[in-house]
Amino acid sequence: MSDRKRLLVIDDHVEITDLIREIAGADGYDVHTLNQSTRFFEQFEQISPDIVCIDIHMPDVDGIEILRWLSNSGSNARVLILSGGDPLFTKVAERIGEAANLDVRTLVKPFSLSDFRLMLRELPETATGAV
């Protein structure tokens, strides 16, 4: 496996996953994207990402379910919650993730490219998504 930092993105909007792939790829990340949740758990275990970007409002899975799974799996990957929905729901999701001992950050859609890049660059060099 590459020594590049790994990023896994799950968002039902292809434009978002493509944009994140472009930005993170330019910053040296090995980026994997999904537009449906059917392979998320398998993909997570295969690549052991350093950062997971999740759209909290996916049509086929609840983002809270993903947060709980990450916690139960012992993941130490940073979680970026991407949401254009109700800010109250997003804040609740962030608090659930924090209560589950996850390193959770939130980006509200539409987010600025500079804010996304800043979050990528804040990742400690020693971070790993290994479980």
Structure tokens at 51: 């950062």
What is the total count of domains within the chain?
Answer: 1
- Indicate if the pLDDT at residue 127 is higher than 60: no
Residue 100 lies in a domain: yes
Residue 99: CATH number of its domain: 3.40.50.2300
User: Of residues 67 and 128, which shows the higher confidence score?
Assistant: 67
Q: Output the pTM of the full model.
A: 0.88
What is the structure's pLDDT at 124?
Answer: 63
> Is position 33 within any domain?
yes
23-57: b (≥16 Cβ within 10 Å) or e? bbeebebbbbbbbebeebeebbeebebbbbbbbbb
Q: 68 lies in which domain range?
A: 6-111
118 part of a folded domain: no
Considering the domain boundaries, does residue 126 fall inside one? no
Whole-number mean pLDDT of the chain? Answer: 87
Provide, rounded to the nearest whole percent, the portion of the chain with pLDDT above 70.
92
Does residue 116 fall inside a structural domain?
no
* pLDDT tens profile 86-109: 888 889 999 999 999 999 999 888
- H or E segment to which residue 63 belongs: helix 63-72
Task: Tell whether 119 is covered by a domain.
Answer: no
Residue 125 is assigned to a structural domain of this protein: no
Two tokens, residue 46: 């295969």
Checking if the pLDDT of 48 tops 80, the result is yes
SS3 131: coil
Residue 123 lies in a domain: no
